[in-house]
Structure 1
Amino acid sequence: MKYLLTILLFYAFTANAQVPFTKKYKDCDITDTCLYCGDTRAAYTKNIAGKFQRSLDHSSVKWMSTSGRLYFEIAVDSTGHSCVLSIKDEVHMNDLTENIRRCINNLWDWTPAKLGGRPINSTVILELYFIGDVASVKFIKPEEAH
């Protein structure tokens, strides 16, 4: 009985720590990635919020009255190209989500993760938080996603 209880508790804690990405995409050619790994992690060093803002302002999506969060699991290859592997959508605006996914997939100037000084493929999680006409963007650890 103790053994069963231990296994159930372990499962409950590990399941809670994982981000339940609900939309998965199979069109990403980046393989052999690891989540938040490397001596230095993959990063987008330019103004990613500005990229999204310009993309959204030129789209037909009415995002100004949106509230909620979007989480993007992004693969970044060793050359700095990115693509979205999966999304956790708390906004429920498919057009908005797809516009941002396309924008991320077209970002070519990422700094890849490095391990032992060599660039490697890796995965990061990006959170977009919308409230009214304000959107904030940050990279988070998997356990920080709600």
Structure 2
Amino acid sequence: MKRIILLLLTFFSLTLSYSQNLYPEKYKDCSLSSFCLDCGETIAKPQSSIINELLDKFDKKSLSQTAGKIEVQILIDEYGKPCLLSSLNQTNISSKKLGLQNAINSTSSWEPAISKNKKTNSSVSLIFEFENGNFSVKRRIFDFKNQSNAKSVGTPDIKGTDKEKLSKDWTVFTQQNSELPWDMTRAVANDLDNNIWIGTDNGIVKINNGQWEHFNSKNTLISSPPYNKNETVSVRDLEVDKNNNKWFIAAWDVYKYDNKNWTKYDSINSPINWARKIFVDYSNNVWFTSWNGVAKFDGKNWSVINKQNSNLPTDKTIGVHVDKKLESGLEHWKEM
């Protein structure tokens, strides 16, 4: 018997009516162009039978082989009709093979969101976790009344060490004791001038001899998240090349800072689509993993390694390394 659990996962944010795909896999069958993110005094709710319905709708053979996580954004119109809008598939089975879109779109109508005593269009996010033929479901709830930043204040803890000595040797920087704009940080690098760069979920900081300088959506090309124009999208990775250029992945686009000017690289002016990681090789080529394979930029020209022109089994790549012999010693991983 398959074990299926419905849980709730809270995400803190602000609300704004908008039309936005949250995830890279986009579906075109949803007709509405305007909706709000998990909004309403009463949020949209599925029928109690939805889990069993999804179990029946998923491709049985694919479900038994699926391992990993899929996060989905579902549009629920004012009549409660569900429509898969976007997804982030981190499993070993494609969304199409699993029958994700058909499964979600053919489930029973939800109870729509209600705002100011009126039914309204909204989008909700669910997280499916698959393992050994089982799956669980979490709902990501965007809590607009209790917006809060992650609280990371604490004592460093590494097993096998003297905690008291470790606490004296290490300093934990937070919003409470520094100019850090957000406690959630994903990337850090040292540049050629020995400045420290930190990428956070609300902008970038540069530390030079104890002086903090801030870079965000107000003074760079980096955009704001759609739900809060006063913040900056998450910086997911950063590297410094041999010319001391700083490269950032913010949200899913790439930005270069040459210490004077900012340049943005996205699917319009580069082969990058949903960038994941950056690597600078010995020849100062900058490599980017993405949903369209691995892109290389030599300072002037772009080239791509993908499923069509190489032995890559998938275009979804999140790691790349070039060895010391300057051969393309490519390492890749499927999203698991």
Please, what TM-score do these two structures have when normalized by structure 1?
Answer: 0.75
Counterparts of residues 89-104 of structure 1 (less than 5 Å): 89-94=89-94, 95-96=97-98, 99-104=99-104
CA distance in 1, matches of 2:37, 2:136: 22
CA distance in 2, matches of 1:22, 1:61: 25
TM-fit CA distance, 1:64: 1.7
TM-fit CA distance, 1:74: 0.4
Q: Give the corresponding residue for 1:71.
A: 71
CA distance in 2, matches of 1:112, 1:31: 17
Higher alpha-carbon Rg = 2
SS across alignment from 2:51: helix
* Equivalent pairs, count: 122
What are the superposed Cα offsets for residues 36-95 of structure 1, whole Å, 9 maximum, x if unpaired?
A: 111011110322221111123xx3533223211111100000001110110000014120
1:21 corresponds to 2:10: no
Counterparts of residues 33-72 of structure 1 (less than 5 Å): 33-56=35-58, 59=59, 61-72=61-72
SS across alignment from 1:71: strand
CA distance in 1, matches of 2:23, 2:103: 19
Q: Give the corresponding residue for 1:115.
A: 115
CA distance in 2, matches of 1:74, 1:127: 11
CA distance in 2, matches of 1:107, 1:23: 20
Residues 46 and 111 in structure 2, CA contact (< 8 A), matched pair in contact too: yes
Larger % of strand: which? 2
Residues 126 and 140 in structure 2, CA contact (< 8 A), matched pair in contact too: yes
Structure 1's 73 and 20: CA in aligned 2 closer, same or farther, altered over 3 A? closer
CA distance in 1, matches of 2:22, 2:122: 19
CA distance in 1, matches of 2:85, 2:128: 16
Residues 38 and 114 in structure 1, CA contact (< 8 A), matched pair in contact too: yes
What are the superposed Cα offsets for residues 81-111 of structure 1, whole Å, 9 maximum, x if unpaired?
A: 1101100000141201xx1211211224210
Which structure 1 residue ranges, 4+ long, deviate > 4 Å from structure 2?
none
CA distance in 1, matches of 2:121, 2:22: 22
RMSD across aligned C-alpha pairs, in angstroms? 2.2
Residues 31 and 121 in structure 1, CA contact (< 8 A), matched pair in contact too: no
Amino acid at match of 1:88: L
Greater alpha carbon shift after TM alignment, 134-143 vs 87-96: 134-143
SS across alignment from 1:34: strand
Larger % of helix: which? 1
Structure 1 unaligned residues grouped into runs of 5+: 1-13
Structure 2 unaligned residues grouped into runs of 5+: 1-12, 14-20, 144-336
Q: Percent identity?
A: 28
Amino acid at match of 1:89: N
Residues 66 and 92 in structure 2, CA contact (< 8 A), matched pair in contact too: no
What are the superposed Cα offsets for residues 93-145 of structure 1, whole Å, 9 maximum, x if unpaired?
A: 1201xx121121122421000001110000000111111121011211369xx
Residues 49 and 136 in structure 1, CA contact (< 8 A), matched pair in contact too: no
